[in-house]
């Protein structure tokens, strides 16, 4: 490990603050470091390995495609691309797909679609996109500009213009920003991931949808992290019951291979003409074949499983008992109604208060959940790794992004260790 760290420091651009860990192999939700130490994986490479490590069906889909052809360029028709695009459209009601290689690139396409739609119809001046404070949309110069966190807006300017930021769930400010700017679109994550695993209020999202419809703005939903089953629905917008104009996704889409996609709805179906956008690797056959395998396996049964596991995590880490709609009905093993009522004063949908020592609350949706520990999130993660469990951080939260099919026993074992660590560090 010391040698690896020295070589990393010498030869790799120092852009990452790494944890003291080198994972070398695994199976499903168990991973191993170079000394053979075993870990329960609650992070899946930041929501990428949708079905864990080296999943058999996924692996076979990749191998089958490797045996055919690994790359053709987008000058020619592609069977795996067409198969995947059809699958995505049929499952979401969206009309067209542009394939990219990452989340940031999927968002670049989404931004281009919104601007071109508006430019074609209303002229070039109507080009501002409203995003949310505390959002995260990527690391390119433009997606950094779209990201509503000041820390990202240092040192790399000038940034792409035309972005303004609205606090999440503040519809009055949203309307005001739309009146004051020449807006063509509104872009947001339905569950802010990097920003702290916070689900947006349904009412706010519905209001934004209505506003976009009324003013002919493009509603762009960034599902890079929430997408591909993680929310408990194939895409979180389906859970919210809205019809966005553009949806971007990436991370878990190809189950561990690089792939991004920009799904385009009816309104902008014909916006992007020939030569308006492109990518050498975009829709690579191996990634596309892998994604076909992943998306076709995320069926109703799989999604019901994600919701069941979600409930398990929230109950385990909050100490609450939930009904089928995730509404708390009591404190596990405690009949004290007054104590429960007191606790529920801080409850709102998407944020569950916790009675577990060292844990303040649990938040999020599906298998994209965060806990607010008493201790510093990073210290919790370091101690968890020492104890054979790998969670992530997101601002002050500890973030959990386990595989969609993590066995319940492993999940519970990992959560017990996490809860114990939170209690010990509090
Ligand atoms: C990770 C993430 C991105 C960026 O994706 P990359 O593949 O790293 O470019 C964009 N938006 C959201 C919501 C993300 O979680």
Distance, in Å, from the CA atom of 24 to the CA atom of 7, rounded to the nearest integer, reads 17
Q: Are 181 and 129 in contact (CB under 8 A)?
A: no
Query: In a 3-state reduction of DSSP, which class is residue 239?
Result: helix
Query: In a 3-state reduction of DSSP, which class is residue 31?
Result: strand
**Structure confidence at residue 250 (pLDDT):** 98
Distance 225 CA to ligand 1 centre (A): 7
Distance, in Å, from the CA atom of 411 to the CA atom of 332, rounded to the nearest integer, reads 19
Give the mean pLDDT of 304-322. 98
Count of CA atoms in the C-beta half-sphere (13 A) of 20:
14
SS3 of 46-65 = HHCCCCCECCHHHHHHHHHH
| CB count in 10 Å sphere of residue 385 | 18
Measure Cα distances from 272 to 120, 126, 127, 262, 293 in Å.
10, 17, 16, 12, 27
Between strands 128-132 and 163-166, the pairing is parallel
| CB count in 10 Å sphere of residue 213 | 13
Ligand 1 atom at minimal distance to the Cα of residue 225: 15
Longest CA span, the chain: 67
Query: In a 3-state reduction of DSSP, which class is residue 104?
Result: helix
**Structure confidence at residue 412 (pLDDT):** 98
For the segment 26-50, what is each residue's pLDDT rounded down to a tens digit? 999 999 999 999 999 999 999 999 9
Residues in the chain: 426
Nearest CA to 96 out of 277, 225, 289 is that of 277
Distance, in Å, from the CA atom of 44 to the CA atom of 252, rounded to the nearest integer, reads 9
DSSP state of 21: -
Residue closest via CA to ligand 1's atom 6 equals 103
**Structure confidence at residue 9 (pLDDT):** 96
Distance, in Å, from the CA atom of 115 to the CA atom of 119, rounded to the nearest integer, reads 6
Please say if the pLDDT value at position 310 is more than 90: yes
In the predicted model, what is the mean pLDDT of the chain? 97
Distance 229 CA to ligand 1 centre (A): 16
Between strands 389-390 and 246-249, the pairing is unpaired
- Rg, the chain, Cα only: 22
Distance, in Å, from the CA atom of 172 to the CA atom of 169, rounded to the nearest integer, reads 9
Give the mean pLDDT of 285-314. 98
Residue closest via CA to ligand 1's atom 11 equals 137
Q: Are 145 and 163 in contact (CB under 8 A)?
A: yes
Give the mean pLDDT of 79-101. 98
**In a mutational test of the pocket of ligand 1, which residue from 224, 236, 252 has the highest number of ligand atoms less than 8 Å from its CB?**
224
Distance 143 CA to ligand 1 centre (A): 9
Measured at the CA of 123, the angle between CA 121 and CA 125, to 5 degrees, comes to 135
Give the mean pLDDT of 330-336. 95
Distance 194 CA to ligand 1 centre (A): 9
Please say if the pLDDT value at position 249 is more than 90: yes
Say yes or no: CB of residue 138 within 6 Å of ligand 1: yes
Ligand 1 atom at minimal distance to the Cα of residue 194: 15
Say yes or no: CB of residue 136 within 6 Å of ligand 1: yes
**Structure confidence at residue 1 (pLDDT):** 87
Give the mean pLDDT of 273-301. 98
Q: Residue 172 has which token pair?
A: 């009055």
For the segment 103-151, what is each residue's pLDDT rounded down to a tens digit? 999 999 999 999 999 999 999 999 999 999 999 999 999 999 999 999 9
Q: Residue 119 has which token pair?
A: 């430019």
Residue closest via CA to ligand 1's atom 10 equals 137
Distance 46 CA to ligand 1 centre (A): 10
Q: Residue 296 has which token pair?
A: 């076709």
What is the DSSP annotation of 372-395?
Answer: EESS-HHHHHHHHHHTTEE-EEET
Distance 412 CA to ligand 1 centre (A): 28
For the segment 361-373, what is each residue's pLDDT rounded down to a tens digit? 999 999 999 999 9
| CB count in 10 Å sphere of residue 363 | 24
Distance of CA 143 to the CA centre of its chain: 15
Distance, in Å, from the CA atom of 91 to the CA atom of 93, rounded to the nearest integer, reads 6
**DSSP-H helix ranges across 72-201:** 79-92, 103-122, 141-146, 171-180
**424 membership: H or E segment, kind and range:** helix 408-425
**In a mutational test of the pocket of ligand 1, which residue from 102, 251, 279, 365 has the highest number of ligand atoms less than 8 Å from its CB?**
251
Give the mean pLDDT of 216-227. 98
Distance 197 CA to ligand 1 centre (A): 14
């Amino acid at each position: 490990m010391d040698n690896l760290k020295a070589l990393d420091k010498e030869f790799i651009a120092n852009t990452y603050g790494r944890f003291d860990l080198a994972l070398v192999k695994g199976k499903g939700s168990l991973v191993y470091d170079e000394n053979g130490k075993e870990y329960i994986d609650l992070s899946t490479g930041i929501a990428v390995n949708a079905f864990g490590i080296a999943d058999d069906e996924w692996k076979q889909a990749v191998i089958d495609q490797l045996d055919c052809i690994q790359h053709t360029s987008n000058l020619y028709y592609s069977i795996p691309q067409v198969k995947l695009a059809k699958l995505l459209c049929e499952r979401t009601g969206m009309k067209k797909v542009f394939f990219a290689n990452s989340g940031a690139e999927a968002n670049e396409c989404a931004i281009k679609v919104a601007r071109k739609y508006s430019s074609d119809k209303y002229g070039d001046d109507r080009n501002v996109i409203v995003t949310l404070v505390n959002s995260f949309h990527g690391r390119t110069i433009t997606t950094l500009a779209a990201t509503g966190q000041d820390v990202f807006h240092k040192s790399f300017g000038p940034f792409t213009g035309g972005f303004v930021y609205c606090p999440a769930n503040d519809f009055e400010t949203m309307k005001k920003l739309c009146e004051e700017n020449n807006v063509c679109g509104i872009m947001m994550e339905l569950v802010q991931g990097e920003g702290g695993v916070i689900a947006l209020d349904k009412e706010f999202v519905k209001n934004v949808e209505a506003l976009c419809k009324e003013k002919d703005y493009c509603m762009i939903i960034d599902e890079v992290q929430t997408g591909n089953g993680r929310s408990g629905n194939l895409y979180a917008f389906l859970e919210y019951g809205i019809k966005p104009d553009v949806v971007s996704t990436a991370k878990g889409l190809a189950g561990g291979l690089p792939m991004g996609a920009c799904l385009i709805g009816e309104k902008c179906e014909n916006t992007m003409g020939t030569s308006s956008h492109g990518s050498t690797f975009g829709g690579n056959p191996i990634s596309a074949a892998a994604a076909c395998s992943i998306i076709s396996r995320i069926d109703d049964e799989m999604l019901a499983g994600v919701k069941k596991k979600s409930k398990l995590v929230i109950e385990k880490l909050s100490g609450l008992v939930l009904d089928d709609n995730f509404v708390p009905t009591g404190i596990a093993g405690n009949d004290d109604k007054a104590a429960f009522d007191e606790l529920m004063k801080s409850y709102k949908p998407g944020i569950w208060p916790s009675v577990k020592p060292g844990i303040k609350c649990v938040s999020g949706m599906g298998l994209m959940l965060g806990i607010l520990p008493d201790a510093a999130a990073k210290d919790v993660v370091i101690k968890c790794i020492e104890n054979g469990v790998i969670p992530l951080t997101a601002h002050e939260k500890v973030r959990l992004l386990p595989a969609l099919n993590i066995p319940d026993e492993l999940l519970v074992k990992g959560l017990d260790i996490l809860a114990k660590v939170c209690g010990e560090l509090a």
